[in-house]
Chain A
Amino acid sequence: MLLRKILVTGAAASLLLLPGCAGSAKDAASGGGGGGKSGMIPVLNLPAEVDASVGSLVNYNPYSAKPATQTWLYEPLMMQNSLDCKVTQWLATDYKWEGSDKLIFTIRKGVKFADGSELTARDVAFTFNLTKRYPAMDLAGVWNDTFGAHATSVTAQGDKVTFQFSGAAVPKFQGIISQKILPEKKYASVGDPTKYIDKNPNGTGPFKVGSFNGRRLELVRRADYWQASKVKVSKLVLEGQPDATQALLQLRSGKLDFYSGEIPNPRKAFVSSNPKLNHVWYAPNGITALAPNLKKAPFNDVKFREAMAYAINKQDATLKATYNMMHVASQSGLVMPNRESMLPEPYTAENTTLPLDLAKAGKLLDAAGYKKGADGFRTNKDGSPLTIKFSVQAGWIDYEAMADSITASFRKLGLNVKEVKSPPDTVDLAKKTGQFDMMINFVGSGCDYANGLGATLETAQIPTKSEVRGNVERFSDPAVDQAVKSLQATTGPAAVKKQVGVLAKTMMTQYPVMPILYAPARGIYRTDKAVGWPTEKDPYANPQDAILLIMTNLTPAK
């Protein structure tokens, strides 16, 4: 909640001013701690998954707007690690594309719902056919044309579930494997599932509800879970949604074991207080980039954009926005070095990371006709004054820090940049209306390039009056559109690489957006109870969105 954030930022500031006092926080430690005797972790404390909870109004239905937990009760078909793109089998043991319009899953045998009944392929087909009847639960867009053609049927036969699409639909894979599978027995008779209040969840997940008192949700391990041997946590406690200050105090005192929210300078604030037990890993989750409005002069001039790309002090921005927790980004639009193999010749991780070079940027601008006027600021080609309004999301501290750094650097180049800070909602509105000069925007970097970088460059993804879409800068190029279209129909690695090459080359030569740094997926955790969290050396899961996978890797601390 924004208000709470503002209030507590104040408190956080006072904490920083009084470092002596901050250390004396005495939040009573709760939870079992220790463990290891029986090879189990007695209890693990996590933040609540929903920001709103009041009284007894609880709902475990995974398709409601804010279920009490998304993760632990109902499970998906598979999980894809967004960092290395490896697919982990879950309720499905295998998948196969036949062409680009037919997808077949093999459903795992021996999986039991909490009530003891067995999961079958019929439950899977039932879930997806339910999303056809009730578009409100079609989170994967299976039955409409978002990212690929819509499905015409989903059928079960034996242990196989077959998706038939009306055309190429490869980008839907990520969404389909993430849908939570419902038991047909329970959900067939509830009417509109999104309006159903599920108080007695019956999922296939590793935990079941122990108790909920309106605030504190206790989940108990299921001994009959299909991979119970991998789950070493006996009890999970989900309580409260702490903000940065509270989370830091709770993490330090052991009241919280894992957090993936933002804590300013976590190395200094958290890790350094006990380097043995306190750890932090920020994985590169995507790209934060500067997005100019290409419909407007001078941003419609590629030479001007090239100069901008060389005038961003990425090192400085990264230091100020993330305390060097993250790395500066490659102009290619792909996360380096993880995806270096996707780059076409002659690009490498190194040569796509543009250095700060104000002299070069200045020469580019001079040559393109943006000369300095009498007041020291550069003018448009026709000599008229050139001012750039920089729309900044107020309250997003890291974005504000990046914006400040960029503004300072651009002004050194002679560009008259003025920051206009407004609430993120207002900036989103500007994305829709196109009334902005430049802003900071997120560029996706999933394993599906059509959904990720493709969405930032494809003409069809230019935001509309009513919908924020990926192509905020309003870039348009038929060659890129063709490449994205091919990606939607391609599963072969060599063909994918070829099309991604088109996108990366566009980024390197057209400068539609200027990547600044890799956006973090945060993992801030303690190892006094459990070990086996993903780390930079062992990035088996994205710490932000794969806690279920992480759970099956945790073991008691010695």
Chain B
Amino acid sequence: MKYFLRKIGFFLLTLWAVVTLNFLIPRLQPGDPAELMVQKLAGKNAQLNLAQVRAMRAMLGTPHGSLWSQYWEYMGHLAHGDFGISYTYFPYKVTDVIGQGLWWTLVLVACTQILSFVIGVMLGAYAAWRRNSRFDSIVTLGSTFVGTLQPFWIALLLLYVFAYSLGWFPTSGGYSQSTPGWNLGFVYDAVSHAFLPAVALMIVTPIGWILGMRNTMIMNLGEDYIRLAKAKGLPDRTVALRYAARNALLPSVTGFALALGGLLGGAILVETAFDYPGLGRLMGEAVANKDYPLLQTLMLLTTTGVLIANLIADLLYGVLDPRARRAER
């Protein structure tokens, strides 16, 4: 019990730190949201209209008072689940804005991550089973090479070749002609828009799983129980899948839980490159517009996501592996 209480205590402490940093970091950057917005509407080659800036300040109710009083106000609002009104989408609530973007990111990123995980783990297991074969060297070397590329760079490349030059896919957005809803036209529209961003994410993400799975699997293959299984004359398939792969999978599953929390970060650049209407692009927009309420909520969402995934993994470890609990005593 003490183990669980301690873990939860740590979780709460980190959560507080995250919430506080989340409040501080956006306020450390220079720039005034009202001035920025007026200037943006007018363009770079226009004098900042003071009357408009003052009106915009009055509208957004941009932070006033000392940092300390702002902080208490912020904590109070958070406690009531009030995340404020987005500056960019004024007067819509931050929660409404995020609610609109969430689906796009969830579908895009969750699909690619689960697919990446399955593909990565399978390739890794097979490479380990047939280690030192030609397949193994191609997969391992290829992954180390492709792993050094940045997803957004791949995104630009894909955008250039398949969207601009060949014109097979749309260049930006999540959909264009159709009306969102459960109809064939929209699904087709959305899928054709999601294809390139998904591929951009899919090329790099499985690599971690491939290499991780291959390494743990090779370690497992050296264990006595594998030799025993082989000596018993079990078929190769059974040894590989039910004995080695199954055991090697455990660390990867924990890793997967962790990765899900941090997905948003990786998707920002890719979503931005494709102008894809998900949370990543929203975050980019929030930064560009100094939309503090939106930015804070998005950051809070991501960081608490990671924290909760961590907590669950920690707690699960305690349940799954009694040694973790005992070591704490």
**A and B: partners?**
yes
- Report A's interface with B, CB cutoff 8 A: 1-4, 7-8, 10-11, 14-15, 21, 24-28, 51-57, 59, 64-66, 70, 134-141, 144, 146-147, 175, 194-197, 211, 213-216, 239-240, 242, 245-246, 249, 285-286, 288, 396, 425-426, 428-429, 442-444, 446, 451-452, 455, 466-470, 519-521, 544
Chain B residues within 8 Å of A195, by CB: 91
> What are 26 A-B pairs with beta-carbon distances under 8 A?
A1-B288, A11-B164, A14-B160, A28-B167, A52-B88, A52-B289, A54-B89, A54-B100, A55-B180, A57-B92, A64-B90, A64-B91, A65-B88, A65-B89, A65-B90, A66-B41, A66-B90, A138-B54, A141-B52, A146-B54, A242-B172, A245-B164, A246-B172, A286-B45, A396-B44, A466-B32
A175–B167 touching, CB < 8 Å: no
| Residue in A closest to B98 when the chains form the complex, CB atoms | A54
Given A27-B171, A135-B55, A216-B176: A52 touches B285 (CB 8 Å cut-off):
yes
Chain A residues within 8 Å of B126, by CB: none
A24–B285 touching, CB < 8 Å: no
Chain B residues within 8 Å of A66, by CB: 37, 41, 88-90
Chain A residues within 8 Å of B97, by CB: 54, 57
Chain A residues within 8 Å of B43, by CB: 544
| Residue in A closest to B56 when the chains form the complex, CB atoms | A65
A4–B176 touching, CB < 8 Å: no
**Which listed residue, A196, A211, A214, A442, touches B47 by the CB 8 Å rule?**
A442
Rounded to whole Å, the gap between the CB of B310 and the closest CB of chain A is 28
Rounded to whole Å, the gap between the CB of B285 and the closest CB of chain A is 5
A90 to B100, CA, bound (A): 38
Chain A residues within 8 Å of B46, by CB: 285-286, 442, 444
Chain B residues within 8 Å of A56, by CB: 100, 180
In the complex, given contacts A59-B92, A144-B51, what are 17 additional A-B residue pairs having Cβ atoms less than 8 angstroms apart?
A: A4-B272, A4-B273, A7-B269, A21-B165, A52-B89, A65-B89, A66-B88, A211-B179, A213-B178, A246-B171, A286-B46, A396-B44, A428-B31, A442-B46, A466-B32, A468-B48, A519-B45
Chain B residues within 8 Å of A51, by CB: 40, 285
**Is B275 at the interface (CB under 8 A from chain A)?**
yes
Q: Report B24-56 residues with CB < 8 Å from chain A CB.
A: 29-32, 35-37, 40-41, 43-56
Given A25-B164, A139-B52: A65 touches B59 (CB 8 Å cut-off):
yes
**Which listed residue, B40, B52, B174, touches A215 by the CB 8 Å rule?**
B174
A106 to B65, CA, bound (A): 44
Chain A residues within 8 Å of B166, by CB: 26
B165–A24 touching, CB < 8 Å: yes
Given A55-B277, A194-B91, A215-B277: A444 touches B171 (CB 8 Å cut-off):
no
B30–A428 touching, CB < 8 Å: yes
Closest 4 CB pairs of A and B: A141-B51, A55-B100, A26-B167, A136-B59
B: number of interface residues (CB 8 Å): 65
Chain B residues within 8 Å of A521, by CB: 45
Chain A residues within 8 Å of B171, by CB: 27, 246, 249
- Report B's interface with A, CB cutoff 8 A: 29-32, 35-37, 40-41, 43-56, 58-60, 87-92, 96-97, 100-101, 152, 156, 159-160, 164-167, 171-180, 269, 272-273, 275, 277, 282, 284-285, 287-289
Given A1-B284, A215-B174, A239-B176: A146 touches B88 (CB 8 Å cut-off):
no
| Residue in A closest to B167 when the chains form the complex, CB atoms | A26
Rounded to whole Å, the gap between the CB of A52 and the closest CB of chain B is 5
A216 to B189, CA, bound (A): 13
Count chain B CB atoms within 10 A of each CB in A25, A134, A396, A519 and give the residue with the most.
Answer: A25
Chain A residues within 8 Å of B285, by CB: 1, 51-52
A438 to B35, CA, bound (A): 21
A1 to B280, CA, bound (A): 13
Chain A residues within 8 Å of B53, by CB: 467
Given A52-B88, A197-B92, A288-B45: A240 touches B172 (CB 8 Å cut-off):
yes
Chain A residues within 8 Å of B52, by CB: 139, 141
| Residue in B closest to A211 when the chains form the complex, CB atoms | B179
Chain B residues within 8 Å of A196, by CB: 91
